[in-house]
């Protein structure tokens, strides 16, 4: 038996979808343990690109059971749109998709509240996707959220929804001067969703613990990345859940002793979407160049990603926070034509040198990166199947990253297709 967590070790968008897709070929279960449809995993199969938002990436492998865990917040509209999208691509989820009975539900008022808050506090905006993720998690931790199990109990759902709609309407009316929501419209619509979601519902913890007793292979799939984690990220420019490896236990209902290995996924450079400090961010010219080569646009929002040099300070911290044992490095091929490469090894701020990642976000806004420069390889890497066949300077670049972050690189992606991967 082997239980594996795959987690992003930067700000998300590291290419986890491809890595999870490859690894899930040899597992029995894939579990998404946090986040919502604000994140996306892109997988390229042959010439076809498949973008997933809620359904785990293992859905592309026949016979793999895919579970949306209790740590995920679910927008039923988005969920069933994704199921329809997969069905049109010839992927039927009915026999293999499961949904935790204690996952929380996103409602229309969550999405509106998300957008209104960003507009009202525009000077300190987070860069949210506006999909209601944060407000839904807020209700969860305020103990007034509505879970899948509540949705399936008509009497309980009616009472809980009435309280929620009344409260949210008071906020919309008095704080934002926004029109009120109709209780009846939401109630009737979500009763329809209840009927559609019921066949997929399970007790996630029971299913997974039974699977482990039968020595099944389980992969836990994180969304976003370490530095978007609500506790360990660049707060407040973060998501509203624990996107680090520890979130797998809470978000799926298993004990920490059941995790055997954590793989961290990193890009050969660094990207982030939305607001927040970014110490190694490129100049605009280089930003446009790498963004174009790497197709750096959000899978969910289409927003252009900010790009920068590889930040070893960032990834070294992620290795410690997650307990990362090995690394899957993606998009090495994007750097094939870059003559000189830089790796950030420390920060300098206010006359002090930082060799660790500081918690004070104000320091990160001011910090200057200390770089180590390495020569590029100026040769194509796409199509190479063995580490030893990579250009010598590419091997040196990867070895330096491994040395600086304290974890071995076991997988290297040199293209978007499944086959364009080196196993070290």
**What pLDDT does residue 122 have?**
57
Q: What is the mean pLDDT of residues 2-26?
A: 93
Assess whether pLDDT exceeds 90 at residue 127. Answer: no
Bridge partner list, 41: 52
Q: What is the mean pLDDT of residues 277-293?
A: 94
**Per-residue pLDDT tens digits for 243-278:** 999 999 999 999 999 999 999 999 999 999 888 999
Bridge partner list, 31: 67, 220
Q: What is the mean pLDDT of residues 305-330?
A: 97
Assess whether pLDDT exceeds 60 at residue 374. Answer: yes
Do the beta carbons of residue 244 and residue 302 sit within 8 Å?
A: no
Please report which confidence band the pLDDT of residue 300 belongs to, taking 50, 70 and 90 as the band edges.
low
Question: In whole angstroms, what separates CA 417 from the centre of its chain?
Answer: 20
Bridge partner list, 147: 104
- Short-list 228, 239, 11, CA closest to 114: 239
Q: Count CB atoms within 10 A of the CB of residue 256.
A: 11
- Short-list 16, 98, 102, 110, CA closest to 65: 98
Residue 109 in 3-state DSSP?
Answer: helix
Question: In whole angstroms, what separates CA 174 from the centre of its chain?
Answer: 35
Q: Count CB atoms within 10 A of the CB of residue 16.
A: 28
**What pLDDT does residue 1 have?**
52
Please report which confidence band the pLDDT of residue 125 belongs to, taking 50, 70 and 90 as the band edges.
low
Bridge partner list, 73: 104
- Short-list 32, 101, 41, CA closest to 66: 32
Describe the crossing of helices 108-120 and 154-171 by its angle, rounded to 10 degrees.
20
| 210-244: b (≥16 Cβ within 10 Å) or e | ebbeeebbbbbbbbbbbbbbbebbbeebbbbbbbb
Token couple for 229: 């984690």
State the residue for tokens 């091929």: 333
Angle at 180 between CA 128 and CA 195, to 5 degrees: 75
**Which one of 12-21, 34-43, 335-344 scores highest in mean pLDDT?**
335-344
| 338-363: b (≥16 Cβ within 10 Å) or e | beebbbbbbbebeeeebeebeeeeeb
C-alpha distances out from residue 81 to 72, 75, 86, 124, 231, Å: 17, 10, 9, 32, 31
- pTM (global) more than 0.75: yes
More confident residue, 1 or 114: 114
Assess whether pLDDT exceeds 60 at residue 117. Answer: yes
What gap in Å lies between CA 322 and CA 194, rounded to an integer?
Answer: 36
What gap in Å lies between CA 422 and CA 385, rounded to an integer?
Answer: 5
Residue 33 in 3-state DSSP?
Answer: coil
Assess whether pLDDT exceeds 70 at residue 52. Answer: yes
**Per-residue pLDDT tens digits for 32-49:** 999 999 877 777 777 788
**What pLDDT does residue 179 have?**
92
Catalytic residues: 13, 41
State the residue for tokens 């973060």: 238
Do the beta carbons of residue 277 and residue 234 sit within 8 Å?
A: yes
What gap in Å lies between CA 424 and CA 188, rounded to an integer?
Answer: 54
């Amino acid at each position: 038996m082997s239980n594996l967590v795959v987690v992003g070790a930067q700000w998300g968008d590291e290419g986890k979808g491809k890595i999870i897709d490859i690894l899930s070929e040899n597992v029995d279960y894939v579990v998404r343990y946090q986040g919502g449809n604000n994140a996306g995993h892109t997988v390229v199969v042959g010439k076809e690109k498949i973008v997933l938002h809620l359904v785990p990436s293992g859905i592309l492998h026949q016979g793999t059971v895919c579970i949306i865990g209790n740590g995920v917040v679910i927008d039923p509209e988005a969920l069933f749109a994704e199921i329809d999208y997969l069905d049109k691509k010839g992927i039927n989820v009915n026999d293999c998709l499961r949904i935790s009975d204690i996952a929380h539900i996103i409602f229309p008022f969550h999405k509106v509240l998300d957008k209104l808050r960003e507009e009202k506090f525009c000077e300190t905006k987070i860069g949210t996707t506006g999909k209601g993720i944060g407000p839904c998690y807020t209700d969860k931790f305020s103990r007034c959220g509505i879970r899948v199990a509540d949705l399936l109990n008509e009497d309980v759902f009616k009472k809980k929804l009435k309280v929620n709609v009344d409260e949210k309407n008071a906020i919309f009316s008095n704080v934002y001067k926004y029109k009120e929501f109709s209780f009846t419209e939401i109630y009737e619509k979500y009763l329809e969703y209840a009927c559609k979601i019921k066949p997929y519902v399970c007790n996630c913890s029971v299913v997974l613990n039974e699977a482990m007793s039968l020595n099944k292979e389980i992969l836990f799939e994180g969304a976003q990345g370490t530095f978007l984690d609500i506790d360990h990220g660049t707060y407040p420019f973060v998501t509203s859940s624990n996107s680090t490896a520890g979130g797998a236990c809470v978000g799926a209902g298993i004990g920490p002793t059941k995790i055997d290995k954590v793989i961290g996924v990193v890009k050969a450079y660094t990207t982030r979407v939305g607001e927040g400090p970014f110490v190694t961010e490129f100049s605009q010219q280089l930003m446009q160049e790498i963004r174009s080569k790497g197709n750096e646009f959000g899978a969910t929002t289409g927003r252009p990603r900010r790009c920068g040099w590889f930040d070893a300070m960032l990834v070294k911290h992620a290795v410690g926070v997650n307990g990362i044992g090995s690394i899957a490095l993606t998009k090495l091929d994007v750097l094939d034509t870059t003559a000189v490469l830089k790796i950030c090894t420390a920060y300098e701020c206010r006359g002090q040198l930082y060799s660790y990642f500081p918690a004070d976000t104000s320091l990160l806004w001011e910090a200057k990166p200390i770089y180590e420069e390495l020569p590029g390889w100026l040769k194509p890497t796409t199509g190479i199947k063995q580490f030893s066949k990579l250009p010598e300077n590419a091997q040196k670049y990867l070895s330096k990253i491994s040395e600086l972050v304290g974890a071995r690189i076991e997988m290297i992606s040199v293209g978007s297709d499944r086959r364009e991967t080196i196993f070290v």
